[in-house]
Structure 1
Amino acid sequence: MNLKSYGETLDRLNQSIKHNLDNTEAIAHQGEAYRLAKQYEQALTYFNQAIAQNANYTWAIAHRGEVYRQMKYYPQAIADFNQSLELQPDYIWAFAHRGVTYRCMGKHYYQKALADFSRAIDLNPNYAWAIAYRARIYDLLRRYEEALVDFDRAIALDQTVFDNWLSERGSLLSYVGRYAEAINCCQLALQADPNNHFALYNIAIFQARWQGLAKASLDIEKARALLLTLRDTQERGMVLYRLGGLAAIEGQIEIALNYLQTAIPLDQEAVEFARHDIAWLEMRKLPKFLNLISELD
């Protein structure tokens, strides 16, 4: 929905509320329109008003929980999802979005996230969004074969559920040593977008692991050349991360760690990538690397 559509929706809801100040549903949907527009404080105001009028309004409680999640107020989000599930024990959406909240809360909550996604999928076996998120949780838990099963199941239902699904699938395949298939996935991604730096990076790393640095040298330089042109873009964090990965695969430890250290404050996903990315295999016992990815005992 574009900004004009949000505005039109809000205008309609305002008219409905104007003619009936007790229209709880219109008030709640006003909150949802603000949530979708990423105007979270306004969204909370309307959800709070709707819930004050109907304390058992399950939909509004769950969607307020999602606002809290998007604001990174995770305890409040969990409380709302819990309440909505007490009111409606088979509320699939609430299970799935509570699962995402647990996933955002860090590795100590991954098992709870997994349980919620599995429950949502049990209730709706074709829920592609929940299947995709469960694939990510399996990935984070290093249960890569199960991640691949869910990944393929999700894209069979909806390929748009992942932003860059061919490159992401390539990464999963690399974690289980299926390098030829991994490279093929990324080559398909490049056919669609020759400047896909995720795919170029992956191919360089996979070739190096599979056939050695000499065979991968041209791919490494090609990926590095593209990444260097992107250092001042909005993707700077992930670009620096991947420059670090290329340095890591070449054994340039300090350069790699410096890139990683700079990337993490710009894009927290760099931490999760580094925990699994095969570019960093030789560094997984180095204290500085472990400290950067928060995995020191």
Structure 2
Amino acid sequence: MTSEHGSAESVPQSVPESIAASRCREVAGILAAKIRGGELAPGTRFPRLWELMRTYGISRGIADIVQHELKRQGLIRIVGGRPVVAEGRCAGLTPDALDRTGPIPLYRQIADILSAMIKNEDLAPGERIPSEDELSGVFGVARETARSAHRELRERGLAHTIGGAGTIVGLKSAATGSDALPMYLRIAREIADQIRDGRIAPDRPIPTRQALMARYGVSVETARRAVGMLCWAGWVYTVAGRPRFAARPERWPALKAWEEATAGRGAGPRALTAAGLLGLRVGDGEPDPGTGAPMRSAGGGR
């Protein structure tokens, strides 16, 4: 038995099976409620086996089964060998949703599930559909099957594919300008929107680079550039040795200037300066080491 496929055989013989099963259900229920309630945020790291053991006073075998059950429910997935809380677009997608013995091809069943999510607006226009790797992982199918599911959605007119951004809900002809942006700009704008509408409160941490990589399926460099844009503009500040935090409203850039500065491929410190954001000096690319705020030129401000 491996750590990703727990079974009752994992439970030490000294623990009665009925007690072990009851404890598994209890801990799995607690963690599932935390995920669905947002206490364990999408894209963040899920506790490892030893953390579950220490937090809930359970054996490694029971922790293993709990993790396996949450994976079966589609609430967590494995990224780079580590458990991660599934994104909204992946949460609830499970291998059990597929009829593997019936006449309907698996790729078409997956496409039907995603089509229903699109029609119910669980996947909104402009949102990225789970990638081939994500579909392969949550449904336990070959990547070619996941690729065929993406193709099926395109043929149904429900999605289109953008190089470097993935498969997006909606027709390409109806895509908004932001859909054509480089992925790091789309990420930066989405995080800024979350800060502006209060989904990320002032002085609270923004998603880490690792969380952004898991959520959007991007490289560390893309995640770094997105966070850099937020720091340069003033949406985010840093504290040495700590996560990056959402700035307070008085430090935010003017919305129109921000949107103009991030509307094209030439976005960066120079574009932010040209738009008048924060009075940044051309070439200033890092937060002020003293305050953690974006650096300003003399006399600059909002």
- Structure 1-normalised TM-score? 0.35
Higher RCO (Cα < 8 Å, 6 or more apart):
2
User: Whose helix proportion is higher, 1 or 2?
Assistant: 1
